[in-house]
Amino acid sequence: MSLDALRQRLAELTRLDAPVGFEEPVLRYVAEQFKPLCAEVTCDVRGNVYGRLPGRDPNAPLVMITAHADEIGFMVTSVRPDGFLRFTKLGHPTDMVLPGQRVRVLAREPLEGVIGVKPGHILSPEEARRTPPIEELYIDVGASSAEEAASWGIEPGTPAVFVGELTATKDPARVFGKCVDNRAGVLCVLETARRLAADPPRCNVAFVIVVEEEVGLRGAEVAARKVQPNVVLAIDTVPSGGTPDLPPGALPWTIGAGPLLKVRETKGLSTHGPLRALVRETAAAEQIPVQVIVDTAGITDATSAQQASGDVAATVIGLARRYSHSAVELCDLNDVQAIIDLTVATVRNIHDRDQLMRISIRPSGVTPSSPAG
């Protein structure tokens, strides 16, 4: 797929507003995309969407390729008598970027709004250096009263999201916008499904788009219990270094240098050694550069999926992104394309469970022969 086509597909996905717990727009989108590609498309009550692709060998391993549908956002907690909206966070938007930020309130009809900011002309030096707590912030949608806001469909529990259309820089491969985390991952799963459906691999595949990652990796745990895969490949974005505000040793990986292959998430899993080695060998054979990392910042659905399913090999194929959990997450589409290529090639190289075993144990009662005297 060309970079222009990737950019258009990613723009289409980021235009969908799907904060944690309100992922339906993305779920409907991926279900329609899966239908012509998969033998079966289903969803569960939690919201996870499953597309199953039988491989050429029914006895080969079952590989679950997953990405999360949800994005960070906000939720109205109360409406003041003057029409301003108090709110809380869905997931973990970065506090320091919130004042003055444009948002979209997802009432009956989407409403444009802004998180209010105290006029700079009257800020004290101390206030100018301070990040106001969420309890002091409010959303202004132009309502003059609580009654008017209610007539527009706003009530406690109404969600909201950042506003940030996907935008290309002068380098057309480098784009920024809201919810690159993790619509880029969803795009990778969809494109992987398209390519594998055209030429099925030996192994069996379940493509799964899950919910509620941003509040505790919840959907992936449910999905892994349902699918019971032998292998989990989780595709997600990862906060990256390489910017002037970070020292060289902080997040020592960057955009544009290839997919991220995690050895460890210090807040989550240690990735499965034989599977990780298989991904590296595949990357080398396909001449795809990878960045091998120990992730000190993030955690992904691979952690909950690995533990939920039990007898499973799990790893993460990551996309480096700048300015995480803001409205202007920036990534390099060359990395997105490389993740798709690497995921497709890796799945084609998974043939049997023996490839996944960490050690080999001889049957009981069998001992090595003694060396010749």
Percent of the chain surpassing pLDDT 90: 83
DSSP-assigned beta bridge partners for residue 330: 176, 322
Q: Considering only 64-68, 143-147, 200-204, 353-357, which range has the smallest mean pLDDT?
A: 353-357
CA distance 65 to 28: 18
Q: What is the pLDDT of residue 373?
A: 43
Q: What is the pLDDT of residue 188?
A: 98
Q: What is the pLDDT of residue 131?
A: 86
* 192 pLDDT more than 70: yes
**Comparison of pLDDT for 154 and 270, the residue scoring more:** 154
Q: What is the pLDDT of residue 264?
A: 93
- Ordered by where they begin, the domains of the chain are 3-71+178-356 (3.40.630.10), 73-162 (2.40.30.40)
- 3-state SS, residue 159: strand
CA distance 138 to 82: 11
* 282 pLDDT more than 50: yes
* 218 pLDDT more than 70: yes
User: Which residue has 């970070």 as its token pair?
Assistant: 246
Cis ω for the linkage preceding 182 (within 30 of 0): yes
Give the pair of three-digit tokens for residue 273. Answer: 């050694």
**Comparison of pLDDT for 318 and 214, the residue scoring more:** 318
The per-residue pLDDT for range 60-90, each reduced to its tens digit, is 999 999 999 999 999 999 999 999 999 999 9
* 127 pLDDT more than 80: no
The pTM assigned to this predicted structure is 0.94
Q: What is the pLDDT of residue 129?
A: 77
DSSP-assigned beta bridge partners for residue 292: 261
Tell me which residue of 233, 243, 187 sits closest to 12, measured CA to CA: 187
DSSP-assigned beta bridge partners for residue 189: none
Q: Considering only 122-126, 265-269, 280-284, 325-329, which range has the smallest mean pLDDT?
A: 122-126
Q: In what order do the strands lie in the sheet with 329-332?
A: 167-168, 174-177, 329-332
DSSP-assigned beta bridge partners for residue 236: 318
User: Which residue has 């494109």 as its token pair?
Assistant: 191
CA distance 290 to 276: 12
Q: What is the mean pLDDT of residues 272-277?
A: 95
Q: What is the mean pLDDT of residues 43-66?
A: 97
Q: What is the pLDDT of residue 298?
A: 82
Q: What is the pLDDT of residue 370?
A: 52
Give 334's DSSP letter.
H
Q: What is the pLDDT of residue 367?
A: 59
Q: What is the pLDDT of residue 267?
A: 84
CA distance 280 to 288: 9
Give the pair of three-digit tokens for residue 248. Answer: 């060289």
CA distance 67 to 306: 14
**Comparison of pLDDT for 358 and 371, the residue scoring more:** 358
The per-residue pLDDT for range 221-262, each reduced to its tens digit, is 999 999 999 999 999 999 999 999 999 889 999 999 999 999
- The set of residues, in sequence order, having a beta carbon less than 8 Å from that of 317 and lying 6+ positions away, is 233, 234, 235, 259, 260, 261, 279, 339, 342, 343
The per-residue pLDDT for range 288-321, each reduced to its tens digit, is 999 999 998 888 988 888 888 778 999 999 999 9
Q: What is the mean pLDDT of residues 338-360?
A: 95
- Residue 296 and residue 263 in contact, taking contact as beta carbons nearer than 8 Å: no
- Residue 241 and residue 287 in contact, taking contact as beta carbons nearer than 8 Å: no
CA distance 302 to 280: 18
